[in-house]
Amino acid sequence: MGIYRTFSYKVEDLIIKLLSKKQDSEMIKEKVANYRRKSEEIRNQKKMSKKHKAV
């Protein structure tokens, strides 16, 4: 994972923590993890499709 993405995730976590103080923290962490996993899968699919088009 790149430095930029790591830093962005840290900032996102801080903002989420500040905005969701009154909500269940475990549920929020799970939603964030699911969102990040889905976006990572989409990013990987785009990379693979670009590789297949180039070949």
pLDDT tier at 10 (50, 70, 90 boundaries)? very high
- Comparing 26 with 41, the larger pLDDT belongs to 41
Percent of the chain with pLDDT over 90: 60
Provide the pLDDT for residue 1: 59
Average pLDDT of the segment spanning 19-24: 88
Q: Decide if 32 contacts 13 (C-beta within 8 A).
A: yes
Distance CA 1, CA 31 (A): 20
Three-state SS at 2: coil
What are the extents of the domains in the chain? 3-54
4 has a pLDDT exceeding 70: yes
pLDDT tier at 14 (50, 70, 90 boundaries)? very high
